[in-house]
Each structure stands twice: as C-alpha cells, then as structure tokens.
Amino acid sequence: MEFDKDLRSIQEVRDLLAQARKAQNLLSAMSQEQLDRITAAISRAGAEHARRLADMAVEETGFGKKEDKEIKNKFAALTLYEAIKDQKTHGILHQDGERRTVEIGVPVGVVAGLVPSTNPTSTVIYKAMICLKGGNPIVFSPHPSALNCILETVRVIRQAAEEAGAPAGSISCVSTPTMEATNTLMRHPFTRLILATGGAAMVKAAYSSGTPAIGVGAGNGPAYIHHTANVELAVKRILDSKTFDNGTICASEQSIIMEQRMEPAVKAALRAQGAYLLDEEETKKLSGFILRANGTMNPAIVGKRVETVAKLAGLTRVPPSARVLVAKETGVGKGHPYSSEKLGLILGCYVEPDEEAVLRRCIEILEWEGAGHTFSIHTEDEEVAKRFGAAVPASRVLVNTAASLGGIGATTCLFPALTLGCGAVGGSSSSNNIGPLDLINIKRVAWGVKELDELRGRAGVGESTPDLEQLVQQILRRLKV
C-alpha cells in the first residue's frame, strides 16, 4: 500500500525519533572524552568536505557564492571546534568546597534542528557539533529547496561521528520534507528541544509547538557611520560584509545611517568602492521586488548577484562592476520596503539631521523588524559606542567591524555561532550566540550548611558533614563518568 507523501514523511519522523531516543540513552552514559572524540570527528569531516558541500549548496539553491560558503563551512567546522573543544559539558562541571555545591551537566535530550536554505551545509555542521558535544542526538528538518546538499552533509558527518563512537541514530535527517513532518518533529514527545534557524513563520511555529525552543528572528541591522569614523574604512567594512556570500548572513547590514553632515563623504566613499546609488526612479522600481504581496522577503533577491537583481527590476544603467545597490529611504514600516530585512545585495540609506535623530531611527528600524538581533556602529568615540549599545534593542552591538562576520564571531571575540539569539525583545528564549552550554541542563547538588535552629536564631547542635570530595566521587561512580 502506497501512502501519500505527507503520511510517509510523518512515519519517517517517528522512526527517526525512535532511533534518536535509543541513541540518547547511549550518549548519556558516555564520558566527556568520548563525546569530545565524536565532536572532533565531525569537525574534521566538515572541514575536509567544506568546498564540495559549498558547491552543492550554491548549485542547488542559487544563493550566495561557493568560495564564501566554503569559508562558512570551515568556520562551523574549525573555528567553532577551537571554541568548544575544551568546554566541559558532561558530568561534574564545577564544585565549590566552601559553599558545598556541585554542578553536573546532563544532555537536554533529542534536538530537532531546523535548517534554512540560505546557510544549509554550515548550519548542519554547526548544529551537529554543538549537540553532540553536549551528548544530544539531533534530527534535522531540511528546507526543501536545499534538501540534497543537507542530506549529503548529514551523511558525511554522521559517518564520521559513528566511526568515532557515536551510536546509530545520533545524527539523522528527514528525507521527505513536508510541513506535516516538521510539525510532527517539533511536537513529538520524544523531542526535548527545538533549535530553529530560518524564517519568522518557522520560528514562530517552533515557539508555538509546546516544545522548548531556541529560535532566532529576522535580522535587520542598521549600520551607523559616526562623524568620528574613518569613512573609507567604515564603507569598506560594510561593503565587504554585505557582499560576503551575497548578503545571506542574517547579521549583515541592511541599511546605512548617517548625520546630514556626513552625507557627501559617505556617498563619495560608497561610489568609489563600487556601490551603485539608485536615483528616485530606480529606487521606486526596485522597491516593488523586495517584498512579496504578503510582506515577506522575495526569494528572487536573496543571495543573488547585483546583475540578476537589476535585471529583475528593469534597472538598465547599473554597471557590471556594481557590488551593492543603495537606495535612499525616509521612512520605516509598511510601504517602506528598504526598511526591512534584505538578504541580498541591497542597502537602504538614511540621512538624519543629528545624532539624536540617528538613534531614534535605529531604534525604529529594529523595532519594526530585527528587534534583539544586531546593530553596528563605526566610530572612534568609545562613549558613543557604549551609549548606542545601551539604547538600541539589539543583542549584538558591533563596533568597527563587518557585521555579518562580527555577529557570528568570525571578526570579533563573540562566541562562534550560526544561530544568534534575539532575547525576549525579539521573541527569543536566549540572547546568546548559541553553543553547547545552551543545550545542556545543569543539576545542582547542595549539602546543608545550616540547621533550622540557626534560621530561627538559636544555636543548633553541631554536626560534622561528610567530606565533599568523597561525596563527589560517589556521584561520579553513580553517573559512571
């Protein structure tokens, strides 16, 4: 009997979750050293196949650049590994002899990993590494338009992980992606946590599933060029950032903001470095292709070359050398598409009368879309950076760096991650750059240090307590760590 696609996909999810649950029992009994060997194997495999998987991603989705997706794959495989290789995530994490407490790391359980089409292969490598480092199996739900490259990435890292000792079912992927399959994965009682990276609707569905979730909303970061900035360098960083992988990283700049006195210098630097500044007619033409009728981003502009976007909008004067299209914007919200997230080579441009107006505009843009995500500022005045950092609703405030790479921790000392929490203001359960420590629970063992008589204000009967080190060893033996 042949079942419909949606029924087959639901049954596949149930089977994968059953296997993952069995794997969880085995992973929970492993030592930190065993989990570290598995994590290292994923790292090596991801790095070894970085270029091939990057090529597959671009060829399948049409988004981005092969050479930049290779960098992202290596970032996930190597930079992330260096950051987490010595982290303690399992067993005794910390003990305080004076306060007589012990902290014990335990896995959260089976994780549902939702994968976007913009960063498919790097996201798989990254999420598998942070999950297995904490002893959690992961079942991936792939974006349908990136299915083949995601399946191949899962195959590569799964084989490496299992050869290093990971039990079967530790890393798996739905091969028949449907909405029904994703909903089943998110709502199933075996799923303990959802790690959601993707569009706003998908993240909202994750939080509405009834299962604990870590999700990230849209990025829509403004970039402020302060009057103390090195303008040429600031523009270089912004253009380098926006053109990296054709703008598909959600932390990338979406608009440039400046005071009126800075307009001539900034626009001259933009033109000199290959940006094409649209005139009023061209701005209007392109505006109709940024968003779809329902207000969501038009996939036709995502990760595409300037030439492709210009042709789509009928812009005939854009030179072949143009790196980014820049359009002047004066408003925020509905009817102002340049004020929204544009995961492509398009930047909005705002000119405000003074610094206070700039700050208000930055807040307005982030509150419209991108609250809690990323804001960048270019300035030599540290106090201005701190002031804006305290005022804007962003979890990452980046100073004098390319936002796309600074936000993920490639050009800054932020934790290297491809899932960037937006905090409560952005509807997210975390404001962190998500890592293994976000995917474990911590048990706390605490010995009594006072008697009830002491709380009542009377001297208690003194009684010696067991030696803490002996008790810790008993816990370790019981955990078999």
Element of type H or E holding 428: none
Name, in order, each residue with C-beta under 8 angstroms of 240's C-beta and a sequence gap of 6 or more: 402
**For range 2-22, the mean pLDDT:** 93
Spatial separation of the C-alpha atoms in residues 314 and 282, rounded to whole Å: 9
What does the pLDDT read at residue 405?
A: 98
Judge contact between 344 and 250, C-beta under 8 A. Answer: no
Among the listed residues 323, 295, 322, the one whose alpha carbon sits nearest the alpha carbon of residue 238:
323
Comparing 58-72, 194-208, 233-247, which segment has the lowest mean pLDDT? 194-208
Q: Fill in the DSSP letter of residue 433.
A: B
Judge contact between 185 and 17, C-beta under 8 A. Answer: yes
- Tell me the DSSP string of 55-89: HHHHHHH--S-HHHHHHHHHIIIIIHHHHHTT---
Task: For residue 217, name the pLDDT band (cuts at 50, 70, 90).
Answer: confident
Spatial separation of the C-alpha atoms in residues 403 and 233, rounded to whole Å: 14
Q: How many CB atoms lie within 10 A of CB 99?
A: 11
Judge contact between 300 and 312, C-beta under 8 A. Answer: yes
pLDDT digits (tens, 9 = 90+) for 236-295: 999 999 999 999 999 999 999 999 999 999 999 999 999 999 999 999 999 999 999 888
Q: How many CB atoms lie within 10 A of CB 295?
A: 10
Among the listed residues 205, 140, 132, the one whose alpha carbon sits nearest the alpha carbon of residue 175:
140
Spatial separation of the C-alpha atoms in residues 73 and 120, rounded to whole Å: 10
Helices (H), 164-247: 179-187, 200-207, 231-243
**For range 110-134, the mean pLDDT:** 97
- Report percent pLDDT > 90 for the chain: 90
390, 393, 399, 403 alpha-carbon torsion, rounded to 10°? 170
Burial of 261: CB neighbours in 10 Å, binned 0-12, 13-18, 19+: exposed
Residue 375 one-letter amino acid = F
pLDDT digits (tens, 9 = 90+) for 73-91: 999 999 999 999 999 999 9
Spatial separation of the C-alpha atoms in residues 51 and 449, rounded to whole Å: 57
Q: Fill in the DSSP letter of residue 36.
A: H
Judge contact between 141 and 114, C-beta under 8 A. Answer: yes
Token pair recorded at residue 22: 């069995």
Active site members = 250
What does the pLDDT read at residue 106?
A: 97
Q: How many CB atoms lie within 10 A of CB 395?
A: 23
Helices (H), 135-178: 147-163
Judge contact between 361 and 350, C-beta under 8 A. Answer: yes
Strands 372-378 and 346-352: unpaired
What's the mean per-residue pLDDT of the chain? Answer: 94
**For range 162-170, the mean pLDDT:** 98
What does the pLDDT read at residue 464?
A: 55
pLDDT at 296 over 60: yes
pLDDT at 426 over 80: yes
- Main-chain phi, psi angles of 20, to 5 degrees: -65, -35
Q: How many CB atoms lie within 10 A of CB 271?
A: 13
Beta partners for residue 193, in sequence order: 111
- Main-chain phi, psi angles of 325, to 5 degrees: -100, 125
Quote the longest CA-to-CA distance of the chain: 89
Judge contact between 362 and 371, C-beta under 8 A. Answer: no
Our CA angle for 106, 139, 210, nearest 5°, is: 75
Q: Fill in the DSSP letter of residue 321.
A: T
- Tell me the DSSP string of 384-415: HHHHHHHHSSEEEEEESS-HHHHHTTSSSSSP
Token pair recorded at residue 284: 């209007």
Walk me through the domains of the chain, giving residue ranges and CATH numbers. Answer: 5-216+434-439 (3.40.605.10), 221-414 (3.40.309.10)
pLDDT digits (tens, 9 = 90+) for 319-343: 999 999 999 999 999 999 999 999 9
Token pair recorded at residue 32: 């930190």
First and final C-alpha spacing in the chain: 48
Spatial separation of the C-alpha atoms in residues 351 and 328, rounded to whole Å: 8
